[in-house]
Chain A
Amino acid sequence: MSPTDVVRHTVRVWSDEGDGGSMSGVRVLVGTRKGAFVLTADGARKKWTVDGPHFGGWEMYHLKGSPVDPNRIFASQTSSWFGQLIQRSDDGGKTWSPVGKDFVYDGVPGTHQWYDGTPHPWEFARVWHLEPSLSDPDVVYAGVEDAAMFKSTDGGTSWSELSGLRGHGSGSQWQPGAGGMCLHTILLDPRDENRIFAAISAAGVFRSDDGGTTWGPKNKGLKSGEIPSAEAEVGHCVHRLAQHPDRPDTIYMQKHWDVMRSDDGGDSWTEVSGNLPSDFGFPIDVHAHEPETIYVVPILSDSMHYPPEGKLRVYRSRTGGNEWEPLTKGLPQSDCYLNVLRDAMAVDKLDDCGIYFGTSGGQVYCSPDGGDTWDAIVRDLPAVLSVEVQTLP
């Protein structure tokens, strides 16, 4: 695809061509440091329409659509100057309205640990992640910094903290990672939405089995040298979790160091980094139709945060980890020194599963064939913070 194949206007273009006449399509929701973009294509995923920026100049940490009503999309709009807003679209991202933005911690917030180990008061900074319910378009969860989870049952109009997470006992020991103390991942179990996973940097994984009322840490088996000790209940720098809906007890994790998997709902973890060139990275995701096919983007640690050897490679394992193959066709294989952040990878649900990721250099890449080949949908957006994909009928 050449840049001329990208049609830039604000009207969606659907095509009967290219996917066996199917009208299936995808809508890619991209959050960047300076606005949000909506990228659309038909099922062939070759010809794209770029719509945006929406909320130009604002940090758009995350956008995600409701699985129940794909036209309903929630977006986290934030700014160091002007604070937090939540925007909601009910027409697939064409128009937006601000909804509730009052994220007030329940009761007296107390303290967590600061970088130097001293107590630091809990202070709301921003919403990192929005996770719409799998069954109710009015229910949406928010993961915030300083780490906590909020829930709205009225389409984002009002928010209440699920304070059992912060209050389960270890909250005073939580410590921020370099990016802040953020709750960045929320997984909802498709069998029973009362089972919720949350991941916090740098506290670890927590699970609720009662809809978010009570929580417990799920970090057994995580090892990061001696920081913290292997026996520590919390303090693990988990970067991202992923789950396939057909196997909700299997959870994949990209940790600060190590790729991990759990086959018992987080009760225990084993390392599956295998032959990766670096076990550090941020995103991890699962193929839509193959629960043992997973994707990561290895990045050099600690302070480099760019791909090894200047080669941008997605690594795919078809065995649920340990055995990894580099995916390079269409990706830059020299002089590439960008990063891919934790919420910036997603998969679609078309028959030939599409894989997407966005970079700190402003590219959004798409592979319409499960990772075998890649092409850039766009190359010059602001630094990408998040990528989500909606598969449309």
Chain B
Amino acid sequence: MSTIRVVLPAHLKALAGVHGEVPVEVAGEPTLSAVLDSLEQSFPVLRGTIREHPSGKRRAFVRFYACEEDLSHEPPDALLPEPVLQGREALLVIGAMAGG
């Protein structure tokens, strides 16, 4: 079991009713997909807000960052970077800056 620190954008924090980072527990391989599955299981209101339902595809204006790298185009089953697995860095879910 791994615990991944996840930082949500403000609107999703408000929807989930959380403040600050969200510790997300992942059983098995700590991939981006597994983290989001666990996050959505803990906070069903977030289902569809980060990944489209039912396709599971990342929403166009949502990005994933960690360790100053854009992970948005990584395969969903790729392991997260080591500092994220060790809890030294957080996984950032970001609403892309666009529109008004």
Contact = CB atoms under 8 A, between A and B. Distances in A.
Contacts, number: 41
Nearest to B94: A81
Interface class of chain A by DSSP: loop
Given A57-B11, A85-B15, A85-B45, A80 B53 contact: no
Contacts of A83: 48-49, 52-53, 59
A82 B59 contact: yes
Contacts of B95: 81-82
Contacts of A273: none
Nearest to A82: B49
Number of chain A interface residues as a range: 10 to 19
A186 B1 CA distance: 50
Nearest to A77: B15
A80 B48 contact: no
Number of chain B interface residues as a range: 10 to 19
Contacts of B50: 82
A116 to B, nearest CB: 21
Contacts of A79: 11
A85 B44 CA distance: 12
A80 B61 contact: yes
Nearest to B61: A81
Contact of B11 (A82, A98, A101, A102): A82
B54 interface: yes
B22 interface: no
Interface in B64-83: none
A58 interface: yes
B18 to A, nearest CB: 15
Contacts of A84: 48
B62 interface: yes
Contacts of A102: 48, 53-54
Contact of A104 (B15, B54, B96): B54
B85 interface: no
B45 to A, nearest CB: 5
B84 interface: no
A101 B49 CA distance: 10
B28 interface: no
A98 B45 contact: yes
Interface of A: 57-58, 79-85, 98, 101-102, 104
19 contacts: A80-B61, A80-B99, A81-B11, A81-B59, A81-B96, A81-B98, A82-B12, A82-B15, A82-B49, A82-B59, A82-B62, A83-B49, A83-B52, A83-B53, A83-B59, A85-B45, A101-B48, A101-B53, A104-B54
